[in-house]
Amino acid sequence: ISLQVQSDGGNASSPILYGFMFEDINHSGDGGIYGQLLQNNGLQGKNPDLTSWGSIGDATIAVDSNNPLTSAIPHSLRLDVSEGATGTVGVTNNGHWGIPVDGSSFQIYFWIKGDLNSNITARLVGNGTGTEYASTSIQISSNSNNFTYIDATFPTTIAPDGNVYFELDLDASEVAGSSLYFSLVQLFPETFKSRQNGLQPRLANALDAMNGSFLRFPGGNNLEGEDEGSRWKWNETVGPVEDRPGRQGTWGYYNTDGLGLAEYFYWCEDMGLDAVLGVWDGYALESGGNTPITGDALSPYIDEVLNELEYILGDSSTQYGAMRVAHGQKDPWPLKMVEIGNEDNLGGGCDTYGERFTAFYNEIHKTYPDLTIIASTAEPSCLPPNLPNGTWMDWHNYNTPDGLVGQFNMFDNKDRDVPYFIGEYAQNGVDWPVMKGSVGEAVFMIGLERNSDVVKMAAYAPLLQLTNSTQWKPNLIAFSQAPSHVVKTTSYYVQQMFSANRGATIKEVKSDSPFGPVYWVASTGNDAYYVKLANYGSTGQEVSISIPEKGNGKLTMIANDDPNAANTDSENPVSPVESDVTATQGNFTIKLPAWSVAVLVAN
Ligand code: AHR
């Protein structure tokens, strides 16, 4: 196969083509990228139980409803110490199926009520082994009238696995026969970029290394809720964490909302991402059998969105802008994109989406004409007959590897007037991304990049998976609570290779062969040329590439003979291999093995 990258002409490519879709699924937020490590730490929800908590010594624990910390955190953990108790008593928390102790400096925050003038020891201990990874003594002076706030920073040593629990313990003789109340106990490692209430570094680092351009949040289905009452409500995710009640998430577990609206914007700031804010549009999950809200009944929900936008974009003279300032963020956040709803093409959402989209669009656009507004579907029958100028459409695509390859040219002849956002896509039908599917994704992405004048953004989904709590497979990155455990799947490497190597202009490539099984796209920018290649086939292929005025380059490649090869929690057969390459007589000769994806950067 001979390819000649042309020097003249070309199409501008979208500068924000690759990025992230995030929602709390698979404990990707609580127990995942959100840095707080304890599970059920605020005993949130209507009927909280003692999940993850335990007691030590001659004492028992209970959920207490008579000593609220705040109206948002109405329950506390009561430790009842027996009369005459001796030795050590206390409480334990097992984290989210363990705790990743990474050797960084940890922080603990909690509230305590009860008469105590003594020390509490915070410890991180190996389950079964008893190995101590941290121990710090904290002087407490608390009373039984009010909660007293405690915080401490302490060193840790790296644990070999995630089988670690946290404990707070006391000298039993100091508290025998009394009760102590603990509320909203929080434990953080050193977070990504040391952000307060920030992200777990090992997962944030894996994302940061992908060099993405945007973050879509907070869902996905988790935006929608099972019903109107359990929709994601921005105003309950902001301000001090003790004022956040949390909510029943869509994916089967309670969300603390410690990772809230502001934290998403700080995530964007710390990784250089554009925010894509999803807003609730009157339609909860179709699986809940809900009837969409329409007509005048939509008004409160439109107001809710306008308030949210004022919180994000308003200055301190506005009600909600002032609230943001009071919460510690002086400047408005640089929001540019808002998506109305999620997958409104599904189930009973389609028929009324035109009306609902228009109602939200008109009010948002009136106040914020510069925002790009994205419809949650590209299905013509669900959209208003005349989509307002400048609107984008979100299209989701979970497909087989062959299906993804079959969609290689689906954008070649699309109307250029209405841009696309591929808000979610991935291979489906497998537990882990497999090589064949990842090459299929690369072929699909080459098609997107060739058309990135009209395809503005694309994100793999779902992004993260705690292997102990999985609601959706496959995912881009998996992890357990072992402190260094991050499974970078074959699809992760495809995303990283494509995202980290982008030119501003897509160049024409002349060839002597049609597309398939080898696919390619070339771009240029920053005085370099980028050629992306995918071999969706079981035999090797040789590709000769001429690039204007370039004779040296770096090749990054992933490959595996086995189309079912997968990086999993037990084996990692695929990782990128880099090599220096030189053109001979003006041509780079690239040997593409079976099932391979490669990026050549010539400069
Ligand atoms: O990515 C998992 C789910 O797939 C998303 O929540 C939803 O938008 C889609 O159906």
Q: What angle do CA 352, 353, 358 make, to 5 degrees?
A: 110
Where are the alpha helices (H) located in 162-258, listed in sequence order? 172-175, 201-208, 221-224
* Ligand 1 centroid from CA 391, angstroms: 22
With contact defined as beta carbons under 8 Å apart, do 536 and 405 qualify? yes
Q: Quick check: CB of 343 below 6 Å from ligand 1?
A: yes
CA distance linking residue 406 with residue 273, whole number of Å:
31
The closest-lying atom of ligand 1 relative to the alpha carbon of residue 23 is 6
Q: Are 506 and 11 in contact (CB under 8 A)?
A: yes
User: Which protein residue's CA is at the shortest distance from atom 5 of ligand 1?
Assistant: 220
522: buried, middle or exposed (CB in 10 Å: 19+, 13-18, 0-12)? buried
Tokens linked to 478: 């998996």
Element (H, E) at 29: none
- Indicate if the pLDDT at residue 288 is higher than 80: no
Q: Please tell me what DSSP assigns to residue 86.
A: -
Please state the φ and ψ torsions of residue 596, each to the nearest 5 degrees: -135, 155
Contact indicator for 321, 310 with CB cutoff of 8 Å: yes
Q: What percent of the chain has pLDDT over 90?
A: 98
Q: Which pLDDT belongs to residue 287?
A: 76
**What is the predicted pLDDT for the residue at 545?**
98
Best mutation site among 223, 343, 379 for ligand 1, i.e. most ligand atoms within 8 A of its Cβ?
Answer: 343
Distance 339 CA to ligand 1 centre (A): 14
> Would you say 431 and 26 are in contact if contact means Cβ atoms under 8 Å apart?
no
- Name the residue at shortest CA distance from atom 9 of ligand 1: 220
Q: Compute the distance between CA of residue 441 and CA of residue 212 in angstroms, rounded to an integer.
A: 17
- Exposed e or buried b for every residue in 538-567, given b needs 16+ CB within 10 A? eeebebbbbbeebeebebbbbbbeebebbb
Taking the complete model, does pTM exceed 0.80, yes or no? yes
Question: Do residues 51 and 38 make contact, with C-beta atoms less than 8 angstroms apart?
Answer: no
Residue range 85-100: mean pLDDT, rounded: 98
**Which amino acid, 363?**
E
Angle at 597 between CA 593 and CA 599, to 5 degrees: 115
User: Helices 201-208 and 261-271 meet at what angle, rounded to 10?
Assistant: 50
Q: Among 20, 216, 221, say which to mutate for ligand 1: greatest number of ligand atoms within 8 Å of CB.
A: 221
Report which of 393, 381, 375 is spatially closest to residue 350, judged by C-alpha positions.
Answer: 381
Q: Please report the DSSP string for 365-387 in residue order.
A: HHH-TTSEEEES---GGGS-SSP
Asked whether 94 lines ligand 1 (CB < 6 A), one says no
Ligand 1, atom nearest to 462 Cα: 1
> Ligand 1 within 6 A of 349 CB?
no
Closest to 346 measured CA to CA, from 233, 524, 244, 221: 221
Position 289 confidence tier, pLDDT thresholds 50, 70, 90: confident
Which of the listed residues 20, 472, 477 should we mutate to test ligand 1's pocket, taking the one with most ligand atoms within 8 A of CB? 472
| Mean pLDDT on 451-474 | 98
Query: Quick one: pLDDT band at residue 290, thresholds 50, 70, 90?
Result: confident
Which of 27, 339, 396 should be mutated for ligand 1, with most atoms under 8 A from CB? 396
Residue 286 has pLDDT above 90, yes or no: no
399-437 tens-digit pLDDT: 999 999 999 999 999 999 999 999 999 999 999 999 999
Q: Which domains does the chain have, with CATH numbers?
A: 53-188 (2.60.120.260)
Check residue 347 and give its pLDDT.
81
- Please tell me the predicted confidence (pLDDT) of residue 158: 98
Longest dimension (CA), the chain: 89
What CA–CA distance (Å, rounded) separates 17 from 459?
A: 8
The number of the ligand 1 atom at minimal distance from the alpha carbon of 250 is 6
- Classified as helix, coil or strand, 132 is strand
Interstrand relation of 420-427 and 455-460 (parallel, antiparallel or unpaired): parallel
In this structure, are strands 132-142 and 59-64 parallel, antiparallel, or unpaired? unpaired
Q: Which atom of ligand 1 is nearest to the CA of 472?
A: 2
Which helix (H) or strand (E) covers residue 490, if one does?
A: helix 490-500
Alpha carbon separation from 483 to 97, 159, 376, 395, 422 (Å, rounded):
13, 7, 37, 36, 33
pLDDT at 301 over 90: yes
Interface ipTM > 0.95:
yes
Whole-number Å distance between alpha carbons of 280 and 225: 9
Instruction: Yes or no: say if 255 and 51 are a contact pair by the CB < 8 Å rule.
Output: no
DSSP state of 549: T
Q: Give the separation between CA 599 and CA 590, rounded to whole angstroms.
A: 10
Tokens of 67: 């000593």
pLDDT tens digit sequence for 342-378: 999 998 899 999 999 999 999 999 999 999 999 999 9
Task: Give residue 422's Cα distance to chain centre.
Answer: 16
Interval 128-144: pLDDT, tens: 999 999 999 999 999 99
From first CA to last CA, the distance across the chain in angstroms is 22
Q: How far is the CA of 220 from the centre of ligand 1 (A)?
A: 5
Which amino acid is it at 1?
Answer: I
- In angstroms, the CA 370 to CA 364 distance is 10
Over residues 276-299, the mean pLDDT reads 92
What CA–CA distances, in Å, run from 211 to 186, 270, 319, 501, 562?
30, 12, 36, 9, 28
Using CA atoms, how far apart are residues 306 and 368, in angstroms rounded to an integer? 10
Query: In sequence order, what are the beta bridge partners of 459?
Result: 19
Nearest to 22 by CA among 239, 254, 204, 289: 204
Find out whether the beta carbon of 221 lies less than 6 Å from any atom of ligand 1.
Answer: yes
Write the pLDDT tens digit of every residue in 213-255: 999 999 999 999 999 999 999 999 999 999 999 999 999 999 9
CA–CA separation, 499 and 497 (whole Å) = 6
Please give the number of the atom of ligand 1 that sits closest to the Cα of 423: 8
Percent of the chain with pLDDT over 70: 100
> What does the pLDDT read at residue 125?
98
* Mean pLDDT, all residues of the chain: 97
Q: What is the 8-class DSSP label of residue 98? A: B
CB of 424 sitting under 6 A from ligand 1: yes
Query: Rounded CA gap, 460 and 433, in Å?
Result: 11
Please check the confidence at residue 65 and state whether its pLDDT lies above 80. Answer: yes
| Mean pLDDT, residues 24-36 taken together | 98
The single-letter DSSP state of residue 82 is P
